[in-house]
């Protein structure tokens, strides 16, 4: 299998915060504890025996470990729907933007969407890092992949960060757990950043030929009767 090509995203923060706020991290290093604790196999009552869990599913893992995770800058306390924090910005920090870890969007801005609640704002996670992508690449910012355990859902957006890289991208999110009370700790991933090469795509649609159908049945048979077939035979190196 071909080795992955190494590319670089450049993250910059205001001078004075580089040793205060957590850095974005490669998503491969940010797997949650629940995933690490998963067994590779579990009893499947439908089949009457053991079967592999998602911990052995390469597409599930590759999605979670691709790109970078953008962390929450400081602890965020939530009590009965109210947010509070304590961020002592060091003297000499360069910049004139807000140092609040969150902002908000008025509900009217998402009226007519599934994210709308008449009496609730859409929160917006602040980001103190500008991100520069290589020429020809955009960045897909989305909710951390497969992280239903988080009390919010970050909205997805695609930003051309090869050109737009002198201002931080902010992350609107729907706070979907109104019963959450406690502290969302510093370093919690609030967005996943996935580089996407800009290319024009078209679709081609056709019926399976005899050769196509033969390969389909062969591949299906390999998957049904073998272990880790996709990982061993088809999966491309990601790093």
pLDDT greater than 60 at residue 3 = yes
Distances (CA, A) of 73 to 30, 84, 100, 124, 174: 15, 13, 9, 13, 18
Cβ atoms of 7 and 134 within 8 Å: the answer is: yes
- The three-class DSSP label of residue 71 is strand
Confidence tier at 198 by pLDDT (50, 70, 90): very high
Q: Which two tokens stand for residue 11?
A: 């993250």
- Per the model's pLDDT, the better-predicted residue between 119 and 32 turns out to be 32
Cβ atoms of 170 and 153 within 8 Å: the answer is: no
pLDDT greater than 70 at residue 1 = no
pLDDT greater than 90 at residue 224 = no
- The three-class DSSP label of residue 64 is helix
For the chain, the average pLDDT equals 92
pLDDT 10s digits, 85-128? 998 877 766 666 678 899 988 888 888 888 877 767 789 999 99
Contacts of 182 (CB under 8 A, 6+ apart): 77, 78
pLDDT 10s digits, 152-176? 999 999 999 999 999 999 999 999 9
pLDDT reported for residue 5: 85
Q: What is the rounded CA–CA span in Å between residue 75 and residue 9? A: 26
How do the domains of the chain map onto residue ranges? 10-205
> Which residue in this structure is represented by tokens 């005899």?
210
pLDDT 10s digits, 36-74? 999 999 898 988 888 889 999 999 999 999 999 999 999
pLDDT reported for residue 95: 60
- Return the percentage of the chain with pLDDT > 90, whole number: 69
84 bridge partner residues: 77
β strands within the chain, DSSP E? 10-12, 25-26, 41-44, 49-52, 68-71, 76-79, 82-84, 102-105, 122-125, 130-132, 137-142, 152-154, 157-159, 171-175, 182-184, 189-197
Q: What is the rounded CA–CA span in Å between residue 220 and residue 227? A: 12
**Which CATH fold would you assign to the domain 10-205?**
Deoxyuridine 5'-Triphosphate Nucleotidohydrolase; Chain A (2.70.40)
């Amino acid at each position: 299998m071909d080795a992955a090509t190494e590319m670089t995203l450049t993250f910059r923060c205001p001078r004075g915060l580089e040793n205060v706020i957590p850095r974005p991290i490669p998503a491969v290093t940010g797997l949650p504890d629940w995933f690490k604790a998963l067994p590779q196999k579990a009893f499947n009552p439908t089949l009457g025996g053991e079967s592999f869990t998602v911990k052995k599913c390469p597409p599930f893992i590759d999605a979670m470990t691709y790109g970078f995770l953008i962390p929450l800058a400081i602890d965020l306390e939530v009590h009965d729907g109210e947010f509070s924090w304590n961020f002592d910005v060091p003297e000499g920090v360069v910049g004139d933007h807000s140092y609040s870890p969150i902002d908000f969007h008025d509900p009217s801005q998402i009226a007519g969407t599934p994210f709308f609640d008449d009496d609730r704002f859409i929160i917006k996670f602040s980001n103190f890092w500008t991100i520069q992508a290589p020429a020809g690449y955009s960045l897909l910012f989305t909710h951390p992949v497969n992280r239903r355990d988080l009390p919010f859902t970050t909205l997805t957006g695609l930003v051309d960060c090869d050109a737009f890289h002198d201002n931080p991208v902010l992350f609107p999110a729907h706070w979907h757990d109104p019963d959450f009370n406690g502290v969302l700790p510093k370093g919690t991933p609030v967005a996943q950043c996935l580089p996407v090469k800009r290319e024009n795509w078209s679709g081609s649609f056709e019926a399976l030929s005899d050769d196509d159908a033969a390969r389909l049945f062969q591949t299906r048979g390999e998957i049904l009767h073998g272990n880790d077939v996709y990982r061993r035979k088809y999966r491309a190196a990601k790093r």
